[in-house]
A and B are shown apart, each in its own frame.
Chain A
Amino acid sequence: MKYLKETATLTYSPEKCTGCGRCVEVCPHNVFSMSSGKAVIGDRDRCMECGACAKNCDFGAIYVDAGVGCAAAVINGILRGTEPSCDCGGTSGSACCC
Chain B
Amino acid sequence: MKILNTIDPAQSLKPLQGGGACCGPVLSMSGGAAMRSCPYKGGYPEWVTDEITTAEGPVPVAATVLTTAEKFAHLRARLTNFRMRFSIEPGLYAVGSPDRSSDIFISANYTMSFDILRASLHGMNAWILVIDTGGINVWCAAGKGTFGTEELVKRINGERIAMLVNHRKIIVPQLGAPGVSAGQVKKRTGFRVLYGPVRAEDIPTYIENGYTASPAMRRIRFTMKDRLVLTPMELNPAMKKLPYLIFAVLLVFGLKPEGIMFRDAAAGAAPFAAGAVGALITGAFLTPVLLPFIPFRSFALKGWLLGMAVFLLMITHVPLFMFESNYLTAVTLVFFPLLSSYLALQFTGASTYTNLSGVKKELKYGLPVYIGGTVISFLLLAAYKIHEWGIL
Contacts and interface: CB of A to CB of B under 8 A. Distances in A.
Interface of A: 1-5, 7-9, 22, 25-30, 46-52, 55-56, 58, 65-75, 78, 84, 86, 90-98
Given A22-B182, A48-B355, A96 B350 contact: yes
Contact of B220 (A29, A51, A86, A95): A29
Contact of B195 (A5, A8, A25, A51): A25
B200 interface: no
A52 B348 contact: no
B222 A94 contact: no
Contacts of B238: 94
Nearest to B348: A71
Interface residues of B, number: 57
A94 B234 contact: yes
Given A95-B349, A97-B349, A3 B354 contact: yes
Contact of A29 (B143, B219, B234, B298): B219
A74 B175 contact: no
B237 A92 contact: yes
B362 A4 contact: yes
Interface of B: 81, 83-84, 136-137, 140, 142-144, 174-175, 177-183, 195, 198, 213, 215, 218-220, 222, 230, 233-234, 236-238, 240, 291-292, 297-299, 345-363
B144 A86 contact: yes
13 contacts: A5-B297, A7-B361, A8-B355, A8-B357, A48-B354, A55-B177, A55-B178, A55-B179, A69-B348, A86-B144, A90-B84, A95-B230, A96-B350
A90 B134 CA distance: 12
A1 B195 contact: no
Contact of A28 (B136, B351, B352, B360): B352
Nearest to A92: B237
A95 B234 CA distance: 6
B81 A71 contact: no
Contact of B237 (A27, A55, A69, A94): A94
Contacts of B357: 4, 7-9, 49, 65, 69
Contacts of A56: 177, 180-183
A71 B140 contact: no
A55 B180 contact: yes
Contacts of B299: 71
A31 to B, nearest CB: 10
A69 B356 contact: yes
A94 B297 contact: no
B219 A71 contact: no
B288 to A, nearest CB: 10
A26 B356 contact: no
Nearest to B134: A98
Given A50-B142, A67-B355, 7 more contacts: A30-B218, A55-B179, A56-B182, A65-B356, A66-B356, A95-B350, A97-B349
Most central of A90, A94, A96, A97 by chain B CB within 10 Å: A94
Given A25-B218, A94-B233, A74 B355 contact: no
Contact of B346 (A2, A25, A71, A92): A71
A58 B362 CA distance: 33
B222 A1 contact: yes
A77 B246 CA distance: 28
Nearest to A90: B84
Given A49-B355, A97-B349, A27 B218 contact: yes
Contact of A66 (B81, B178, B297, B345): B178
Contact of A73 (B179, B218, B349, B351): B349
Given A28-B174, A56-B177, A94-B350, A7 B355 contact: yes
A68 B84 contact: no
